[in-house]
Structure 1
Amino acid sequence: MKIYHNQLTKTLAQGFIPVWLVFGDEPWQKDNSLSTIKAAAQQQGFSELIRFNTESGFDWQQLMDEYQSMSLFASQRIIEVEFSTTKVGDAGNKALVALAERLSEDIQHKHYANDVIFIFHGDKLDGPSANKKWFKLFSQIGCYLPLYDVELKSMSHWINQQCQTLNLNLAPELTQLLIELFEGNLLALAQELQKLSLLFNQSLITLEQAEQLVIKQAKFNPFQVVDSLLLGDCGKCIAMLDQLQQEGIAPAKIIWALHKEISQLYNMLNQLEQGESINQLYKQYRIWDKRKPLYQHALTHIKLPDVKQAMIRIADIDLLSKTSSEFNVFILLADLCITLYHGDKTQALSLKYG
């Protein structure tokens, strides 16, 4: 079974689930999911928690041994397994398949006493890992909870849900400010809401009251810069680049992501000029339905000459970032974003600004 974070409470209320698979990179949802699952289990009498971490040298046989052993402290146990990497190797694959098959057999023949809950969690699963036999077996007898970033359009709803839980009363304009400041960083936003709850209780919190307390903690990654660039929001790209610079991210990570995307746009625009349909391109480049509107905008608003100029500029930026410390690479990357949509305005400018 597969569910999403907003279905977790309802799913827990439906009855006992022996295995939970919680994988993803969004920290607030991960912390919230794990604590919610454990709290529900503890209410059912699961008072003992055994933790494992699959770091280098981990003995995978310990999981089977723990499952088969009798607890000295409690009749009901939670066995939590944190994956240091989702690539578990041959030994891990074999041990996990054996454990999953044993659990499946015990449940099928009603030998399973509902006295053990397994919680497996780690970073986002890639396609090959999600297709492993052990993962499919556990998914059949348990629940897979993938964790994704909350999209900008859903942030207001998410804040409203948290406000209901915390009995917070926010002015509408304050909600919009929080969305702007904390986009991409739910963990910090959740902490900020808890702080406001402690300070104001159930009183209406106005923008003026809160803005002196709220600290800008938006957290972005290079792929969010790419998405904003595809949508043509150069202002937002520049704001993200400024934030990434303050966080100390290596420029090479951003350069790599932008180079990859601009090269693909160049190929796609060339193929469109040669008569390929946009749907054929979506299939060829494996563009998910969710991302098609981004490419629809980019491919209809970006001109081929501007992409060619952007490709030259990002090559120059890459070289400058490796050979000189005289230039602010993030300013050059901001120039690149503008070039992709307004190449006629930046063509005359030198990347070296002097």
Structure 2
Amino acid sequence: MKIYHNQLDNTLRQGFKPVWLVFGDEPWQKDNSLAVIKAHAKKQGFSEVIRFSSDASFDWQQLLDEYQALSLFASQRIIEVELTTVKVGDSGNKALLALAERLTQDFTGAHAPQDVMFIFHGAKLDAASANRKWFKSLSQLGCYLPLYDIELKAMPQWLNNQTRQRQVNISSELNALLIELYEGNLLALAQELDKLALLFGSQPISIEQAEPLILKQAKFNPFQVIDALLRGDCAKCIVMLDQLQQEGMAPAQLIWVFHKEINQLYSMLNQLAQGESLANIYKEFRIWDKRKPLYQHALTHIKLDNIKRAMSRIADIDLLSKTSSEFNIFILLADLCITVYHGEKTAAFSLNYG
């Protein structure tokens, strides 16, 4: 059974699940999911937690041994397993498959026990790991909870839910400011809400009261910059690039991502100019349904001549990053973002921002 974070509370209320699989890279959702699952289990009498971490020397047989052992301390146990890597190796694969088979035998009977709960968690799963037989068997027994970054358009609803839970009363202006400052960093935003709740309780909080207390901790990654570029939000791209520079991101990582995306946009626009349909282009380049609106905007607003100029500029930026230390690569990448949509204006300017 596969669910998402916003379905967790309802799923817990539906009854006992012997296995929970929580995987993803968004830290707030992971911490929150594990805390909510354990808190619910505790109310049901699960008072003992046995923790394992699958490092390089981990003995996978311990999981099956622990499941079969009788507890000396509590009648109901949570066995928590942190997978430090989703590549569990042959020994891990065999042991987990044996565990899945044993759990399937025990929990599909008429008198299935409800005294042991497994929680597996780790980083985002790749497709190969999610298709492993042991993983599929465990997810059929319980719940697989993949964690994804919350998109900007979903942030207002998330923030409203969090303020309601904390009984924090913030103004609409403060709501918008918090989303702008903490986009991409839910963990820091949740901590900020806790601080506001502690300082103001349930009384209304204006932007003037909160602004001096708020630290800018928004965190972005190169792929979010690309999404902003596809939306045509060059101003947002520049804000993100500035933040990434302050965080010390290596320019080479950004250059690689931009280079790959701009070359793909060139190929897509070139095919579109030759009469190919958008549907076929999406299929060829494996564009997910969720991302099609982004590409539809980009492909209808970016001119082929401008993407050619951008290709030339990213090549020059790549060369400059490897041969000179006199240039601020992040400024050059900001120029690149503008060139994608307004190349006819930037063509007159060189990249010599020294």
Query: Shorter-normalised TM-score: what interval?
Result: over 0.9
Take 2:67 and 2:51, find their aligned partners in 1: how far apart are those partners? 12
- State the partner residue of 2:222: 222
Shift of 1:112: 4.0
After TM superposition, the structure 1 stretch with the greater mean CA deviation from structure 2, 175-184 or 302-311, is 302-311
In the alignment, residue 263 of structure 1 is paired with which amino acid?
N
Take 1:289 and 1:110, find their aligned partners in 2: how far apart are those partners? 42
Shift of 1:95: 1.1
In the alignment, residue 292 of structure 2 is paired with which amino acid?
K
In the alignment, residue 323 of structure 1 is paired with which amino acid?
T
- State the partner residue of 1:326: 326
Take 2:351 and 2:111, find their aligned partners in 1: how far apart are those partners? 70
Take 1:27 and 1:262, find their aligned partners in 2: how far apart are those partners? 30
| Paired positions, count | 354
Take 1:318 and 1:12, find their aligned partners in 2: how far apart are those partners? 50
Q: Do residues 236 (structure 1) and 236 (structure 2) align? A: yes
In the alignment, residue 21 of structure 2 is paired with which amino acid?
L
- State the partner residue of 1:99: 99
Q: What does 1:35-74 align with in structure 2 at a 5 Å threshold?
A: 35-74=35-74
Q: After superposition, give the CA deviation of every residue in 1:94-146 in whole Å (9 maximum; x if it has no partner).
A: 11111001100111234642111000011111111111111110111000111
Take 2:168 and 2:254, find their aligned partners in 1: how far apart are those partners? 38
Q: After superposition, give the CA deviation of every residue in 1:50-96 in whole Å (9 maximum; x if it has no partner).
A: 11111212111111111111112211111111111112122211111
Take 1:72 and 1:326, find their aligned partners in 2: how far apart are those partners? 66
Q: Do residues 125 (structure 1) and 120 (structure 2) align? A: no
Q: After superposition, give the CA deviation of every residue in 1:240-290 in whole Å (9 maximum; x if it has no partner).
A: 000001111111111111111111101111111122100001111111111
- State the partner residue of 1:267: 267
Take 1:62 and 1:322, find their aligned partners in 2: how far apart are those partners? 50
Take 1:303 and 1:244, find their aligned partners in 2: how far apart are those partners? 28
- State the partner residue of 1:179: 179
Q: Is the 8 A contact 1:24 1:146 kept in 2?
A: yes
- State the partner residue of 1:79: 79
Point out where structure 2 has 5 or more consecutive residues left out of the alignment.
none
Secondary structure of the structure 2 residue equivalent to 1:212: helix
- State the partner residue of 2:291: 291
- State the partner residue of 2:14: 14
- State the partner residue of 2:195: 195
Q: Do residues 208 (structure 1) and 205 (structure 2) align? A: no
Shift of 1:175: 0.3
Take 1:197 and 1:242, find their aligned partners in 2: how far apart are those partners? 31
Q: Identical aligned pairs, as a percentage?
A: 72
Aligned-residue CA RMSD in angstroms? Answer: 1.1
Take 1:352 and 1:189, find their aligned partners in 2: how far apart are those partners? 39
Q: Do residues 2 (structure 1) and 9 (structure 2) align? A: no
- State the partner residue of 1:256: 256
In the alignment, residue 189 of structure 2 is paired with which amino acid?
L
- State the partner residue of 2:29: 29
Secondary structure of the structure 2 residue equivalent to 1:178: helix
Question: What TM-score do you get using the length of structure 1 for normalisation?
Answer: 0.98
- State the partner residue of 1:312: 312
In the alignment, residue 152 of structure 2 is paired with which amino acid?
L
Secondary structure of the structure 1 residue equivalent to 2:213: coil
Take 1:352 and 1:248, find their aligned partners in 2: how far apart are those partners? 22
After TM superposition, the structure 1 stretch with the greater mean CA deviation from structure 2, 105-114 or 65-74, is 105-114
Shift of 1:221: 0.3
In the alignment, residue 230 of structure 2 is paired with which amino acid?
L
Q: After superposition, give the CA deviation of every residue in 1:22-57 in whole Å (9 maximum; x if it has no partner).
A: 011111010000000011111111111111111212
- State the partner residue of 1:134: 134
In the alignment, residue 53 of structure 1 is paired with which amino acid?
S
Take 2:110 and 2:325, find their aligned partners in 1: how far apart are those partners? 67
In the alignment, residue 39 of structure 1 is paired with which amino acid?
A
Q: Is the 8 A contact 1:61 1:95 kept in 2?
A: yes
Point out where structure 1 has 5 or more consecutive residues left out of the alignment.
none
Take 2:352 and 2:123, find their aligned partners in 1: how far apart are those partners? 40
Q: Is the 8 A contact 1:103 1:112 kept in 2?
A: no
Take 2:77 and 2:285, find their aligned partners in 1: how far apart are those partners? 46
Take 2:323 and 2:134, find their aligned partners in 1: how far apart are those partners? 47
Secondary structure of the structure 2 residue equivalent to 1:146: strand
Q: After superposition, give the CA deviation of every residue in 1:315-345 in whole Å (9 maximum; x if it has no partner).
A: 1111211222111110010011011111111
Take 2:186 and 2:119, find their aligned partners in 1: how far apart are those partners? 23
Question: What TM-score do you get using the length of structure 2 for normalisation?
Answer: 0.98
Moved over 4 A (4+): none
Take 1:351 and 1:55, find their aligned partners in 2: how far apart are those partners? 48
Take 1:61 and 1:125, find their aligned partners in 2: how far apart are those partners? 22
- State the partner residue of 1:159: 159
- State the partner residue of 1:147: 147
